[in-house]
Amino acid sequence: MTMLPFSIKKLFFYAYKKGLMKMFGCVFCQVAAHESPAEIVYEDEHCVVFKDINPKAPVHLLAVPRRHISSLNEDLEADEKLLGHLLTVAGRVAKQHGIDGTGYRTVINTNAEAGQTVFHLHLHILGGRILRWPPG
């Protein structure tokens, strides 16, 4: 990236800010658009929930907004309803997967030191085993 001309860097930044990452192959945009395979367990006009490809618990689901949002570091004031919706949906799918009674954890990792590897905002829903606290 450091070798790219400034104008190209600006283009990438613009695309990033404008939510055009699908153009550059955002895997969760592709899942949400049914362009990449995933075990989708719930979807509506605002979000999609699918099974994590590398589950860390017997139930490990990811709830993602359909629209590309890279992380909680974006300015999300206009998206408070959408963020609340993700939590409501998380509760619903947790119940459908029978982990509401025993318990489950909802996690959003933001940036490298928290372990974010996919830069499309996603809410992990983990359950079906005892989850230690604090997480590693």
The continuous run of DSSP H or E covering 89 comes out as helix 80-96
Is 109 an interacting residue with respect to ligand AMP (CB under 6 A)? yes
Nearer to ligand AMP, 8 or 114 (CB): 114
Gap between the Cα atoms of 104 and 95, Å rounded: 10
Is 115 an interacting residue with respect to ligand AMP (CB under 6 A)? yes
Question: How many residues touch ligand AMP (CB under 6 A)?
Answer: 12
Q: What are the structure tokens assigned to 19, written together?
A: 């939510």
Q: Which of 1, 3, 25, 54 binds ligand AMP (CB under 6 A)?
A: 54
Tell me how long the chain is.
136
Q: Which of 113, 117, 130, 132 binds ligand AMP (CB under 6 A)?
A: 117
Binding to ligand AMP in span 87-106, by CB under 6 A: none
Between vectors from CA 62 to CA 136 and to CA 109, what angle results, nearest 5°? Answer: 40
Gap between the Cα atoms of 7 and 127, Å rounded: 46
Interacting residues toward ligand AMP by CB under 6 A: 27, 38, 50, 52-54, 62, 109, 115-118
Active site residues: 122
